[in-house]
């Protein structure tokens, strides 16, 4: 069985991947056909798969996912405002994906990581690199329509909102992560 803090964190990741899948699935259904629709559909598929990886990982560790009623993304609209077009959605996505990969890298660096968690993080982080890549490329492709400077300012605004959400939402997450680190270090000392 895994520690309560680890179970909560893995369940939080699972919940966030589910939120991402639902969001990108809805968008893939709505945006017009073209390269962005194509990559959004793949992104939707990846996020669904990631939710499955976390579910499987938690089960392999002898637990069951906790049903959490909020995810990181839920706070985004409140902080950044309702995005009005596909460029603004992609700007938020880029900032969010960078946050996710940073968070997963931080988790991966924890001492005494169970091999199941390590393998899941490694698998997901490969996909996350592609997510950042395709969203970046899509934003470049929108420069002629929205303007390079305007896109850069939008990303900047989203990054500021992200910092606000991170501070607010991840208080509990960070607390649990720190507790987990302390617990692992104590175990190593013994």
Binding residue (CB under 8 A) for other proteins from 2, 18, 51, 80:
80
Residue 170 CB, shortest distance to other proteins, in Å, is 19
Using CB under 8 A, which residues numbered 6 to 35 contact other proteins? 19, 22-23, 26-27, 29-32
Task: Please state, in angstroms and rounded to a whole number, the distance separating the CA atoms of residues 48 and 14.
Answer: 9
Strand segments (E) across 98-148: none
Q: SS3 string of 7-55?
A: HHHHHHHHHHHHHHHHHHHHHHHHCCCCHHHHHHHHHHHHHHHHHHHHH
Task: Please state, in angstroms and rounded to a whole number, the distance separating the CA atoms of residues 117 and 151.
Answer: 36
Q: Which stretch binds other proteins (CB under 8 A): 7-15, 73-81, 107-115, 172-180?
A: 73-81
Binding residue (CB under 8 A) for other proteins from 81, 102, 147, 175:
81
Residue 69 binds other proteins (CB under 8 A): no
Q: Residue 163 to residues 7, 62, 89: CA-CA distances in angstroms? A: 25, 34, 17
Q: Which residue lies nearer to other proteins by CB, 118 or 143? A: 143
- Composition of the chain by helix, strand, coil, percent to 5: 80, 0, 20
Using CB under 8 A, which residues numbered 88 to 117 contact other proteins? 88-89
Q: Which two tokens stand for residue 34?
A: 């073209």
Using CB under 8 A, which residues numbered 37 to 66 contact other proteins? none
Q: Which stretch binds other proteins (CB under 8 A): 75-83, 101-109, 129-137, 175-183?
A: 75-83
Q: Which residue lies nearer to other proteins by CB, 6 or 96? A: 96
Strand segments (E) across the chain: none
Interacting residue ranges for other proteins, rule: CB under 8 A: 19, 22-23, 26-27, 29-32, 73-74, 77-78, 80-86, 88-89, 154
């Amino acid at each position: 069985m895994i520690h309560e803090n680890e179970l909560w964190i893995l369940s939080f990741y699972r919940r966030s991947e589910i939120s991402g899948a639902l969001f990108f699935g809805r968008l893939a259904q709505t945006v017009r056909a073209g390269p962005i629709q194509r990559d959004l559909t793949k992104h939707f598929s990846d996020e669904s798969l990631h939710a499955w990886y976390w579910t499987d990982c938690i089960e392999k560790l002898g637990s069951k996912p906790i049903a959490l009623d909020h995810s990181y993304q839920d706070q985004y609209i409140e902080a950044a405002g309702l995005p009005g077009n596909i460029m603004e959605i992609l700007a938020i996505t880029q900032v969010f994906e960078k946050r996710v990969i940073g968070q997963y890298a931080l988790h991966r660096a924890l001492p005494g990581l169970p091999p199941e968690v390590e393998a899941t993080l490694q698998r997901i982080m490969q996909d996350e690199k592609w997510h950042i890549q395709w969203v970046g490329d899509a934003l470049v492709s929108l420069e002629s329509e929205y303007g390079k400077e305007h896109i850069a300012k939008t990303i900047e605004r989203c990054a500021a909102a992200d910092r606000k959400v991170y501070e607010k939402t991840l208080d509990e997450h960070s607390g649990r992560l720190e507790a987990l680190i302390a617990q692992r270090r104590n175990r190593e000392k013994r």
